[in-house]
Structure 1
Amino acid sequence: MIKRVCFGLLLLLLVACSKITAENYQKISTGMSRIEVVAVLGEPNSTESASLLGIEGESAVWQNGDLQIKALFVNQKLWSHTMVK
């Protein structure tokens, strides 16, 4: 029983400390470097990348419950981003 309570409290603490929030989404803007975005949102939950003719592209997704943030980077710079609740 104590283990379940401790696990539940730990899980609640981790969710409460998440960087993936609407407030942090407002802090990112087009043109920011990937490093700057990760400093605000943390590492993405998933990424996909490709390169062609010297142009590098990466799509990244951050997920926290029902909140999802998607970003597209071109040559390590934020090109577009969206948030879905």
Structure 2
Amino acid sequence: MKKLLLVAALLTLAGCSKVNKENYGKIKVGMDKTEVEAIIGSADSCEEKTLHTNCVWGGEEKNITITLVSDKVTLFSSKGLK
């Protein structure tokens, strides 16, 4: 019974992902990182470079990738959003 509840909870969370086409459409160049996080939550990973930071929300098959300079969106792209 506990396993069934755990599986149901995980499926519910997976269905409620904020990494979707609707939220991707809300992201704009010039937004602060905090504004982006208000829309799609915290990044799953970020890699800091010398002059910019690349952050990814989501996984290999479905994601939103954003490049930030001084914590402002400069570039963004998506993969696998429906």
- The reply to whether TM is greater than 0.5 is yes
Does 33-42 or 65-74 show the bigger shift?
A: 65-74
Runs of 4+ in 1 over 3 A off after TM superposition: none
TM-score normalised by L of structure 1: 0.86
Q: CA deviation at 1:65?
A: 7.1
**Corresponding residue number in structure 2 for 1:71:** 66
Question: Deviations along 1:26-59, whole A, 9 cap, x unmatched?
Answer: 01011101100111110011101134xxxx4110
**Corresponding residue number in structure 2 for 1:59:** 54
For the aligned residue pairs, the C-alpha RMSD in angstroms reads 1.4
Higher Cα Rg, which structure: 1
1:80 to 52, 75, 81: 75
The alignment covers a number of residue pairs equal to: 80
TM-score normalised by L of structure 2: 0.88
Structure 1 residues 65 and 4: alpha-carbon distance in aligned structure 2, compared to 1, 3 A threshold: farther
Say which structure is richer in strand.
1
Which stretches in structure 2 are left out of the alignment for 5+ residues?
none
